[in-house]
């Protein structure tokens, strides 16, 4: 696959086995367009068994991680285009959940800024999440007159306490990164100037471990979580 042809996503291979995948629409705060969904499906399929990739880091270009679904391109523009809407929704689900949550290598969300609405799905699909202290998180759907749809409701009910999930989903109140770490939405928040170094240090330590063991741990933990 020629990563240079991507328009809404960027892929950078670091020398130590870490591959950085960047959602790359900074002018739209990395809101997810259909094109971004299609490209991410291709990128994750390509990297899953890529020999040079031992750890995957997901981040955003500019000062935002991901501003959720692109309200215009993913919703409004597809209202009267059932086939395009169907394909975009399939791709949207495929990369953010089917491919990312089962990605056969460790994944780290490196949250460099805004994380809103639908972005919570890929946040939870990643195994680890480290944010900059100045990142802002929000379940803003209520302010658009919609519910936290798709898998957002599922991941917040699985990942947060009932009280916190209901609070943030019904108030739409944004939270800063320290609060997000306090309620365990993310692992930790660090000064913005340290975000990359802290993420890369975690990636480097994971890259030294037995990849098959990590794969098995990840698979089994995600599997048992849903067992009765």
- Contact positions vs ligand ACO (CB under 6 A): 28-29, 31, 64, 67-72, 114, 116-118, 140-141, 144
Q: State which residue, 17 or 138, has the beta carbon closest to ligand ACO.
A: 138
Burial of 174 per CB tally in 10 Å (0-12, 13-18, 19+): middle
Three-class SS state of 171? helix
> At 131, which helix (H) or strand (E)?
strand 128-132
CB of 49 to ligand ACO, least distance (A): 30
Residues 127/106, Cβ–Cβ less than 8 Å: yes
Q: Can you tell me whether residue 24 is helix, strand or coil?
A: coil
What minimum distance in Å lies between the beta carbon of 65 and ligand ACO? 10
Q: Which lies closer to ligand ACO via its Cβ, residue 135 or residue 206?
A: 135
The residue among 140 and 189 lying less far from ligand ACO, judged by its C-beta, is: 140
Q: Which secondary structure element, helix H or strand E, spans residue 82, and what is its range?
A: helix 82-93
CB of residue 169 vs ligand ACO: minimum separation in angstroms? 12
Residue closer to ligand ACO by CB (options 24, 140) is 140
| Residue 35 phi, psi dihedral angles, 5° rounding | -60, -40
Please give the DSSP secondary-structure letter assigned to residue 32: B
- When the beta carbons of 19 and 64 are compared against ligand ACO, the nearer one is 64
Query: Which is nearer to ligand ACO, 59 or 69 (by Cβ)?
Result: 69
CB of 136 to ligand ACO, least distance (A): 7
* C-alpha pair distances (Å), 156 with each of 8, 84, 211: 27, 28, 28
Helix count (H) and strand count (E) of the chain?
8, 10
DSSP class of 111? E
Query: What's the min distance (Å) between Cβ of 117 and ligand ACO?
Result: 3
**Residue 125 Cβ vs ligand ACO, minimum distance, rounded to whole Å:** 15
Distance (Å) of CA 12 to CA 47, 53, 73: 11, 10, 26
């Amino acid at each position: 696959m020629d990563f240079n042809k991507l328009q809404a996503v960027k892929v950078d291979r670091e020398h130590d086995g870490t591959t950085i995948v960047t959602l790359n629409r900074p002018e739209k705060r990395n809101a997810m367009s259909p094109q971004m969904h299609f490209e991410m499906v291709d990128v994750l399929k390509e990297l899953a068994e890529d020999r040079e990739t031992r750890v995957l880091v997901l981040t955003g270009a500019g000062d935002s991680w991901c501003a959720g679904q692109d309200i215009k391109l993913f919703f409004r523009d597809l209202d009267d285009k059932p086939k395009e809407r169907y394909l975009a929704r399939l791709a949207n689900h495929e990369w953010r959940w089917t491919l990312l949550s089962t990605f056969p290598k460790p994944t780290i969300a490196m949250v460099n800024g805004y994380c809103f609405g639908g972005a919570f799905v890929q946040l939870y699909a990643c195994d680890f999440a480290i944010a900059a202290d100045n990142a802002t998180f929000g379940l803003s759907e209520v302010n658009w007159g919609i519910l936290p749809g798709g898998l957002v409701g599922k991941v917040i009910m699985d990942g947060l306490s009932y009280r916190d999930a209901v609070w943030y989903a019904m108030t739409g109140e944004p939270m800063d990164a320290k609060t997000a770490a306090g309620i365990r939405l993310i692992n930790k928040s660090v000064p913005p100037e340290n975000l990359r170094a802290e993420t890369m240090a975690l990636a480097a330590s994971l890259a030294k471990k037995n990849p098959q063991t990590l794969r098995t741990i990840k698979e089994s933990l995600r599997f048992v979580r849903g067992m009765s």
